[in-house]
Structure 1
Amino acid sequence: MEPSYGQIVTTSAASQIADQLQQAIMDGRLKVDERLPTEEELAAQFGVSRPTVREALKRLAARHLIRSRRGPTGGTFVTGPSPEELATSLGTSVTLLVATGGVSLEEMATARLEMEAVCCRLAAQNRTDMHLAALEAEIAQQRTASLSDQDFCASDVRFHRTIVDAAGNALLRFLMNAVVEALMPVSNMIIFRVRDRKEIVAHHETLLAALRDRDGEAAVAALGGLVRYIRAQYEKAEEARKAARP
């Protein structure tokens, strides 16, 4: 039985069609791996032109909800978006928000502190020896004086990604992708000229010690010290930027 859809008005028809098809996927009327009707059939169902349907399908493809397959058994099929794809999309959106001024530096610091604090508490309970070893390895690399700024930033991201992984919560891991994979690289780009690497490493060492002791509150306190330091570097970077203006 074909899913039924509401009437489409003339404005934003493609958007409405995409939204109705998405809703059909979300509520189970359209199943993963189910083949959609052809463009011609969808156009007849919705009472619109084929180009309008084609635009709606492009929107669904951009949301990773459908895929196309060629050949005798080809067509357009419903697909379940992978967590990795969704996380990447979320991270890209957050990066764009920061780049366009939609998120302030203070909001970045606050969001990171509050969200990663939850991960620190859970990581203190759930971390394994493998997580501790990974954190130790990143700190050892960060102590290397010859390490480039780019590689230091990459190690910084991996350090905090490991804490998120140690929390053992799939939804937090997805949500924290916006912080670790998007906000942290932006943050590092802003402060890398004014920060002291040794200071960053010292905070990482304190955080590692708290996780080793399974002390969640000490881990949150260590994270708070790190974020306060980063906030101070934001101010220094802003002062340096203003001073460099002609």
Structure 2
Amino acid sequence: MGFEPAPVRRAREQVELQLREAILSGALRSGERLPSELELARSFGVSRATVREALGRLASAGLISRVPGASGGSFVRSVDHASLGKALGESIDNTFRFGSISFEELNRVRRLLEVPAAREAALRRSEEDIERLRHNIERQKNASVEDPRLAELDSGFHTAIAEASGNRVLAAFVYALHSVIREVLYLNISPEEGREVVRQHIAVAREIIRGDPEGAARAMEEHLDYIDRLQVWRRRDEG
């Protein structure tokens, strides 16, 4: 495809804008490799440094991934709710690690999102959603608290509920939150606490599968109450 030469003024913005439009319009497809920096610089009539800066902005926005090395380059990322969740998760994680937001704040946002998500999932879940929840629960039952997959299974369970709600933006935000907090949640968890979490997951899934929206919301709220108590007990023990 061809690109128009960018004016000297605000060159980086012009390059970024045209590449962004090419990605979002589908002219550049998911997984497609972009031309090299040199080729793009010639097409746009700008310097390689300008192209490099524009590509950096697109990478930060989650639209492309940059692979170093001779066989690397810039590749178009998939633009869907999953990629949105990943980009959001990276931004939230950076903010969390800098100490600008607290774990307690993230947990409060979970409650605002996940209780309604459970309610909506009970109303809108498909057979495929039900099968995904059942499969996840079975894997949780067979996992120990030492299993490194447990945090991933927990994240997958909550994301599956959000996806079952039929709201892809909601699913992206839930995925983003869990990508940040999942390792913290399962830090130093006891076997009994792990079993209790699984029991609560089973209760939430049961209400969703039954199609009981208020029961699902109530079970999710009870689960999040328990997670909050675990964090309080943990801080008390550490203190």
2:27 counterpart residue number: 32
- 1:158-169 pair list within 5 angstroms: 158-169=156-167
8 A contact 1:128–1:166 mirrored in 2: yes
8 A contact 1:126–1:167 mirrored in 2: yes
SS for the counterpart of 1:32 is coil
Task: Please state how far the C-alpha of 1:123 moved relative to its aligned partner.
Answer: 0.9
Alignment equivalent of 2:208, drawn from 193, 208, 211? 211
Alpha-carbon distance in structure 2 between the residues aligned to 1:91 and 1:168: 20
Which stretch of structure 1 is more off in the superposition, 147-156 or 204-213? 147-156
1:183 counterpart residue number: 180
Amino acid at match of 2:41: E
Alignment equivalent of 2:83, drawn from 85, 89, 97? 85
8 A contact 1:123–1:163 mirrored in 2: yes
User: TM-score, normalized by length of structure 1?
Assistant: 0.70
Amino acid at match of 1:42: F
Q: Deviations over 1:164-199 (max 9, x none)?
A: 23222333222322023x134134244625971232
2:217 counterpart residue number: 220
- Judging changes above 3 Å, is the alpha-carbon distance between structure 1 residues 85 and 241 closer, same or farther for their aligned structure 2 residues? same
Q: Deviations over 1:17-58 (max 9, x none)?
A: 555446755897xx72399884145345xxxx4423333234
2:149 counterpart residue number: 151
Q: Percent identity?
A: 23
Instruction: Tell me if 1:97 matches 2:95.
Output: yes
- Judging changes above 3 Å, is the alpha-carbon distance between structure 1 residues 59 and 137 closer, same or farther for their aligned structure 2 residues? closer
Amino acid at match of 1:109: N
8 A contact 2:96–2:102 mirrored in 1: yes
8 A contact 2:23–2:76 mirrored in 1: no
Which stretch of structure 1 is more off in the superposition, 134-143 or 223-232? 134-143
Instruction: Tell me if 1:192 matches 2:196.
Output: no
Q: Deviations over 1:43-89 (max 9, x none)?
A: 45xxxx44233332343355454689xxxxxxx99957422433322
Superposition RMSD in Å: 3.7
User: TM-score, normalized by length of structure 2?
Assistant: 0.72
Task: Please state how far the C-alpha of 1:125 moved relative to its aligned partner.
Answer: 1.2
Q: Point out where structure 1 has 5 or more consecutive residues left out of the alignment.
A: 69-75
Q: Deviations over 1:117-159 (max 9, x none)?
A: 2321221012234433443343344344756342332322222
Instruction: Tell me if 1:55 matches 2:56.
Output: no
Alpha-carbon distance in structure 1 between the residues aligned to 2:200 and 2:221: 9
Structure with greater Cα Rg: 1
Length, aligned pairs only: 224
SS for the counterpart of 2:149 is helix
Alpha-carbon distance in structure 1 between the residues aligned to 2:96 and 2:189: 17
- Judging changes above 3 Å, is the alpha-carbon distance between structure 1 residues 149 and 102 closer, same or farther for their aligned structure 2 residues? farther
